[in-house]
Amino acid sequence: MISPRKTYIIANWKMNFTPGESSLYLNRLSKRITPSRNVQVILAPSIVSLQPLSLQINRRQFKLAAQNFYWRDYGAFTGETSVSQLRGFVDYAIIGHSERRYIFNESEEDIAQKVAAALRNGLTPILCIGETAMERSDGETAASIYSQLANGLHEVSKEDISKIIIAYEPVWAISSNKDARPAKPADIEEAQALIRKHISKLYGKTASEEISILYGGSVNSDTAGGYLSIRGIDGLLVGSASLIADPFCAIVETAKGIKNER
Active site residues: 97, 169
CB 153 to ligand PEP: min, Å:
19
d(CA 172, CA 133): 5
| Nearest residue to the partner ligand PEP, using Cβ | 239
Question: Could you say whether residue 230 binds ligand PEP (CB under 6 A)?
Answer: no
Of the candidate residues 152, 170, 216, 235, the single one contacting ligand PEP (CB under 6 A):
216
Cβ-Cβ contacts under 8 Å for 22 (sequence gap 6 or more): 13, 45, 46, 49, 52, 53
Start-to-end C-alpha separation, the chain: 17
Stretch that binds ligand PEP, among 73-81, 196-204, 210-218, 247-255 (CB under 6 A): 210-218
Q: Which residues of 56-74 are buried (b: 16+ CB within 10 A; e: fewer)?
A: ebeeebbbbbbbbbbbeee
Question: Could you say whether residue 218 binds ligand PEP (CB under 6 A)?
Answer: yes
Print the binding letters for residues 42-71 with ligand PEP: x by CB under 6 A, - otherwise. Answer: ------------------------------
CB 4 to ligand PEP: min, Å:
25
Residues facing residue 82 across a β-bridge = 70
Question: Could you say whether residue 12 binds ligand PEP (CB under 6 A)?
Answer: yes
CB 195 to ligand PEP: min, Å:
17
CB 17 to ligand PEP: min, Å:
15
d(CA 148, CA 146): 6
CB 116 to ligand PEP: min, Å:
22
Region 137-176 residues binding ligand PEP, contact defined as CB under 6 A: 169, 174-175
Alpha helices in the chain (DSSP H): 19-32, 47-56, 83-86, 98-102, 108-120, 133-137, 141-152, 185-203, 205-210, 224-228, 245-261
Question: Could you say whether residue 219 binds ligand PEP (CB under 6 A)?
Answer: yes
Question: Could you say whether residue 239 binds ligand PEP (CB under 6 A)?
Answer: yes
Stretch that binds ligand PEP, among 36-44, 139-147, 150-158, 216-224 (CB under 6 A): 216-224
Q: Is the Cβ–Cβ distance between 262 and 7 less than 8 Å?
A: no
CB 218 to ligand PEP: min, Å:
4
Nearest to 231 by CA among 205, 192, 196: 192
Question: Could you say whether residue 96 binds ligand PEP (CB under 6 A)?
Answer: no
Residue placing its CB nearer to ligand PEP in the complex, 127 or 219: 219
Residue placing its CB nearer to ligand PEP in the complex, 182 or 232: 182
Q: Which amino acid is at 45?
A: P
Nearest to 69 by CA among 41, 90, 40: 90
Residues of this chain that bind ligand PEP (CB under 6 A): 12, 169, 174-175, 216-219, 237-241
